[in-house]
Structure formats: C-alpha cells, structure tokens
Chain A
Amino acid sequence: MAKELLIGALRGERVEQTPWLPHIGTHPAQLLGVSAERYLQDAELLARGAVLGAERYRCDGIPLVDDPQLEALSLGCVPHWSEQGPPSIVSSPLYTLPAEELDAHFPPLPDETTGRWPTVIAAGARAKSELERRDVALVGLAAGPCTIAYQLRGLALFTDLFRHPVSATRLFAYAGQVSAISARIYAEVIGCDVVAINDTPATMLRPNYFQQYVIPNLQPAWEIIHDAGRTSSFWA
C-alpha cells in the first residue's frame, strides 16, 4: 500500500494518503555511527542505511545512495572525501583543456563494472528484498547532465555555454549518455521502483540554456526508465 501510494502520487494521481519520500543524503551514516566516506563505499552499510532510514522515519520510499559525485568518480574525476557528506571533486580530466579539444578527451563511458557501481549494485541486491518486505519503494538517484558536465569541466562550463556552444553541446550530450547509463543500472540491473535524475546545477542556467542543453539530454534516461516500467522523477 505504501509503495503503491508513492508511485501513484509520483505519477500525478490524487491518492488517499500523502506519501513521504526523504532526500536522505548521507544521513544514514549518522544513524549507523560511521563516516560518510566509509558509508558511501561499503555495500553492506549502504543497504543497512537504506533499511534503517526507512524503518526509523516510516517513509514510503528511500534512496539507495544519495551521492551526486558517484558518476564523476567513474569518469576519472578525483574526489576529496568527507567525514560528514558526499565527496567533493577536486580535479577532472577536462578541467584545463581548451574547449575545442574536449570531445577528443571524453572519458570512456561507464558501465556496471566501473567506479563504485559494483558496490551500489551489491547494496541494491541486499536492500531491495528488505524494503519490499516492508512495502517501501527503492529509489535510484542518478546525476543529471548538467551535474556531470559541471563536474567534468568545472566553472569553465558556464563560459563554454556562450563562448563555445558547439563544445558545450557535445559535452552535455556525452553527460546525458552517462545519466542514461546510470538510469539503466538503477532501473534494469538493480530494479529500483523509482529512478530520479538529480540535476541541481541546472537550476543555475538561464531558461533558454536549460531548454537547449538540459531538456534534450534528459530524454534518453526517461525513455529507459519508462520502458523498464519504472517511475521517473526530476530533482533540482
């Protein structure tokens, strides 16, 4: 019933009771008494954290992992880990390159074997059945195109948008492919009930840039999520 309520509401329906879905961040690390750095890199802790958070806060759905840098780390970006939150990106393969050379240096596209994906997939396998038993939806949270483009390019991204629009267009298209791969892993490999694309940096863009660079590059992820019969959400 709880999961059904949440999915119905997320699809725009009026439901009998208002469901609740927390943007949980790295708070489960606090509940588990471990650092965010350890929590985010340990499948057992991620799974236990999701179940513990769902039980303690009696929510109708809960993210498996809430780390906007997950994709960037699978693309060769260098993290600075934190005790109390997700890591920060301190360098990337594309930071210092001239805009015209970006597309020749795009990292290989990730898959379920790269970066921390094996850890996340293992966590999902453990958490899914536990949450199903409690009628709680499992939520996959993928980084959006602007988040990934920003992590790869840094602040130069925002001048590339108007000084080098061809390079920026290619970078956003690449980033959209990465988002779609994450969506596929959450929807098809892990079997998340809901897959959300989190793209907070996109809110810094002017509306015309949002339309031009972000919206088209979200479509591959939505298509994968909907074809898998899952429910999509856009967080920003």
Chain B
Amino acid sequence: MASSGAQSIAIDECMALDCVGEVAQAHRVGFIGNLHVTSVLFEETEDVAGDVLRCMDEGKRFPGYVFGFGGPLTQHISVARLEEAIEVYRARRK
C-alpha cells in the first residue's frame, strides 16, 4: 500500500501502528489509524481512552501521522463514547 503511489494510507485496526509508521516513514507517506471502532460502540467494556492513547503514543513517533479509525463508523454508535475519545485525543494532539 505504501508503495502504491498514494501520498498516504489508512489501515485497519488489526495492524500494529508502530510497524505501519516505520513503513510509512520509509516510503515518505502519511498514515491514518487505527482506533478500534468497537471502542465507541454502545457500552462496550473496552477502554476507549486507552485505545486513543495507544494510537497517539505509537503514531506520533513518526512523521505523517493522522489520528483516525481502523474502519468505518456504523450508524449507531455511542456518541458519548466517541466524544470521550476525542477529548483524550485533543489533550494529546500537540
């Protein structure tokens, strides 16, 4: 994907973000990912803040990182959980 000719790639939540960061850096492309979509569905037990921190801590080590999901949102999610995720992200954005 990184050598496909695109300027950036977005990868799913199964990929290790730090490995993707290394590949993206080597190919000088940006990369987007990969918050677990399940962390914002309804009242899951998965810790949404922890997964945001995983993304930010691993992704920000490399140039070209863009915070995003590891897949498309379904229509019905817990908006409150997504807003919580965004608050955690914004605190780490700089």
Q: Does A113 contact B (CB under 8 A)?
A: no
Contact B94 A16 (CB under 8 A): yes
Segment 17-70 of B: residues with Cβ below 8 Å from A: 24-25, 27-30, 32, 56, 59-60, 63-69
Q: Find residues 1-52 in chain A having any chain B CB closer than 8 Å to their own CB.
A: 6, 9-14, 16-27, 29-31, 36
Q: Which of A18, A29, A30, A58 contacts B66 (CB 8 A)?
A: A18
Question: Using a Cβ–Cβ cut-off of 8 Å, how many residues does chain B contribute to the interface with A?
Answer: 43
Complex CA–CA separation, A60 to B86 (angstroms): 12
Q: Which residue of A lies closest to B92 (CB)?
A: A18
Interface size on A, residues (CB 8 A): 47
A85-B1 contact, Cβ under 8 Å, with A17-B94, A203-B12, A233-B6: no
Contact in complex: B66, A21 (CB < 8 Å)? yes
Taking Cβ atoms with an 8 Å cutoff, the residues of B that contact A are 1, 4-12, 24-25, 27-30, 32, 56, 59-60, 63-69, 71-77, 79, 82-83, 86, 89-90, 92-94
Given A9-B30, A12-B8, A12-B63, 6 other A-B residues pairs in contact with their CB atoms under 8 A: A12-B7, A14-B63, A23-B73, A58-B90, A232-B8, A233-B32
Pairs across A and B, CB under 8 Å, 15 listed: A10-B64, A12-B7, A12-B8, A12-B63, A20-B86, A22-B68, A22-B69, A27-B73, A30-B77, A57-B86, A83-B75, A200-B12, A218-B5, A231-B8, A232-B5
